[in-house]
Structure 1
Amino acid sequence: MFLKSILLSVFLYFIFVFYIVVDSRNSTDFKADVGIVYGNKVELTGKPSSRLEARLKAGAHLYEKKLIGKLIVSGGIGKEGFDEAKIMARYLLNNGVNRGDILIDSNGYNTNMTSINAFKLVGVESSVVAISQQYHISRAKMSLSNIGFKEIYGFSPDYTEFRDVYAYLREVAAWCKYWLLSL
């Protein structure tokens, strides 16, 4: 019985991972009002981590291609002591995004807070693109939908690293939590 429970759990885990991967596939078959770049680690030097820089490059790319009109940069103050959103905004300014097209959310400490703050910044009538790593896109889209956004897309950079294995493990639990609690 114990072995069957373990096998069922493993099977369900892989079903969730499969769903997350399929739901997070990239497409540029959209034109949206706003791209939301989710925060991540800022290095002790004050520069975005490689993972965060990949997200910012993806956002700048969508902006440059005119697939989005504005960008929300969302993050909090990390343990390194930097306001992620302000670091992100500076990066985008230095990479061709107009100051007036960058909205700063310095209270995006998690995916749900980012969704709530995006609602406050642009309203649910705006079309949005969640920009993050692939493992995070499905939950980010669900959270935006739960807040009330209707037209939601996802886009992830072409960036992977070994820690993504852990990220998918964690993401299944986080996705289930967001689904169960409608976050």
Structure 2
Amino acid sequence: MTWAWFGSAPHRVVAGEPGWRARVPGAEAALVLGAGLYDGRPSAMLAGRLDIAAELYRTGKVRAVLLSGDNSRREYDEPSAMAGYLAARGVPPDVMVLDYAGFDTWDSCVRARQVFGARRVTVVTQAFHLPRAVTLCRAAGLETFGVGDDSTRRLAATTYVYATRELAATAKGLADALLLHSEPVFPGPRESSLTTILARSR
């Protein structure tokens, strides 16, 4: 946990902190990590992440949005639900890229680099998850800054439950990234959707 916390400190900010927008550098894409669905719609925690991504796009901090989540079952499709949520809030569908095999943080980071060709991203997640997410994405070869949603303001009990899991999750992330150099569950093939969006937005 200390490894992730201190290593990521210069590369992350929590949305809502004074001057947080000015600290966020420009990036190719916001990488939004999945956080569950409720009745087919983004959970409250995931909605918080998506609201931040929408603001990053509207303010010109990112040129595309990479939505990485779980679609391991036909009836459970995180990326499509995320895309629908953003579209309803004015983010154009043609700047969104859907990663249907972002089964965990490490997979999402590796696939962003290896499958979608991302180089510089702003990863968006909850504040308690941000040190691990930033550290793993940087370990995967991405130039990464992170913006966290302080969900304790709206979802204190849920946030506490998830935050208590971070110690074990960080240990797994360390093993995946630095010891095992694990490949994602689905490592490919290469997709051109993100690079097409970026070329069009120059």
Tell me if TM exceeds 0.5: yes
Match of 1:108 among 89, 102, 105: 102
The structure with more radius of gyration? 1
> How many angstroms apart in 1 are the aligned matches of 2:7 and 2:140?
20
Pairwise mapping of residues 47-58 of structure 1 onto structure 2 (< 5 A)?
47-58=41-52
Task: Figure out how many residues of one structure are paired with residues of the other and give that number.
Answer: 167
Cα deviations across residues 139-172 of structure 1 (Å, max 9, x unaligned)?
A: 11122112111x2100012422212223222112
Q: Is the 8 A contact 2:8 2:135 kept in 1?
A: no
Partner of 1:6: none
Instruction: Give the deviation of 1:74 after TM superposition.
Output: 0.8
Cα deviations across residues 113-157 of structure 1 (Å, max 9, x unaligned)?
A: 111221134425x210110001111111122112111x2100012
Partner of 2:93: 99
> How many angstroms apart in 2 are the aligned matches of 1:21 and 1:152?
9
Instruction: Give the deviation of 1:51 after TM superposition.
Output: 0.8
2:145 matches 1:157: no
Query: What TM-score does the superposition give when structure 1 sets the normalisation length?
Result: 0.80
Instruction: Structure 1: state its 5+ residue gaps.
Output: 1-12
Matched residue type, 1:41 = G
Pairwise mapping of residues 83-98 of structure 1 onto structure 2 (< 5 A)?
83-98=77-92
Match of 2:126 among 133, 148, 152: 133
User: CA 1:42–1:121 in 2, change beyond 3 Å: closer, same or farther?
Assistant: same
Instruction: Give the deviation of 1:21 after TM superposition.
Output: 9.3
> How many angstroms apart in 2 are the aligned matches of 1:87 and 1:20?
32
Instruction: Give the deviation of 1:55 after TM superposition.
Output: 0.7
Bigger shift: 24-33 or 95-104? 24-33
Q: Is the 8 A contact 1:144 1:152 kept in 2?
A: yes
2:17 matches 1:25: no
> How many angstroms apart in 2 are the aligned matches of 1:92 and 1:103?
12
Partner of 1:61: 55
